[in-house]
């Protein structure tokens, strides 16, 4: 059983790396952002609710997000582990995740974090806005998302560091190299 939390600021390459890790390690990727976007595309109540926060760059309320992750983790493909991408994003979610994993007899194996300098991040996000047309990749929401990351998500690094789970990886290397380092970090984890 290997539950991995992939951390990194918006634009650090979490989504790309999580998808690559999914095929390299045979563990499903759980991206809360992708799950919300999928729900929005299908116009579910969850998707419509989430979008009122997403389009401002704000976090979807914890109880909504945690319930969605609980549901996803209970599916059979997650019984040997999963790669969490974009969750947890604050301390409430981190504690909720510990409890959810305890319920299924699991625990977090390792928390790799992809580190990229702030100016490179903004540049990447603006480029992604042009290519993918993601509605929340514009200058206003990018700033909000960065602020939320600094204030709420970054403190989780200490939370996991104190438990000896945190490992930083240099995200300003070619995608393939970042991937190789991540694979090594996950394979070495118990």
As annotated, the active-site residues are: 14, 89, 128, 134, 145
- In angstroms, what is the minimal distance from the CB of 31 to ligand AMP? 6
Complex with ligand AMP: residue 49 or 189, whichever CB lies closer: 49
- In angstroms, what is the minimal distance from the CB of 9 to ligand AMP? 10
- The token duo for 111 is 């928390």
Judged by phi (left if over 0) then psi (alpha if -120 to 50, else beta), residue 92 lies in: alpha
- For 31, the 3-state DSSP assignment is strand
**Sequence-ordered list of residues with C-beta below 8 angstroms from that of 122, at least 6 positions apart, any chain:** 11, 142, 146
- What is the Cα–Cα distance from 39 to 185, expressed in whole angstroms? 32
- What is the Cα–Cα distance from 127 to 28, expressed in whole angstroms? 27
Complex with ligand AMP: residue 136 or 181, whichever CB lies closer: 136
- What is the Cα–Cα distance from 109 to 112, expressed in whole angstroms? 10
- In angstroms, what is the minimal distance from the CB of 66 to ligand AMP? 9
- In angstroms, what is the minimal distance from the CB of 2 to ligand AMP? 20
Complex with ligand AMP: residue 140 or 184, whichever CB lies closer: 140
Chain residues in the site for ligand AMP (CB under 6 A)? 10, 32-33, 36, 53-54, 57-60, 65, 86-87, 89, 93, 136, 145
Complex with ligand AMP: residue 61 or 188, whichever CB lies closer: 61
> In terms of Cα–Cα distance, which of 45, 62, 78, 80 is closest to 153?
62
């Amino acid at each position: 059983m290997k539950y991995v939390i992939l951390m990194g600021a918006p634009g650090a390459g979490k989504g790309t790396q999580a998808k690559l890790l999914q095929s390299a390690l045979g563990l499903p990727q759980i991206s809360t952002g992708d799950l919300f976007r999928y729900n929005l595309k299908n116009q579910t109540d969850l998707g419509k609710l989430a979008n009122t926060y997403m389009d401002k760059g704000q976090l979807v309320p914890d109880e909504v997000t945690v319930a969605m992750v609980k549901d996803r983790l209970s599916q059979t493909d997650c019984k040997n582990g999963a790669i969490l991408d974009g969750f947890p994003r604050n301390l409430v979610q981190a504690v909720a995740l510990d409890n959810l994993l305890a319920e299924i007899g699991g625990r977090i194996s390792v928390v790799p974090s992809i580190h990229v300098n702030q100016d490179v991040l903004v540049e990447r996000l603006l480029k992604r806005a042009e290519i993918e047309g993601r509605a929340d990749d514009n200058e206003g929401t990018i700033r909000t998302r960065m602020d939320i990351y600094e204030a709420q998500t970054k403190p989780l690094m200490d939370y996991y560091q104190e438990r000896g789970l945190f490992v930083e990886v240099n995200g300003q290397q070619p995608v393939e190299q970042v991937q190789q380092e991540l694979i090594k970090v996950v394979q070495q984890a118990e």
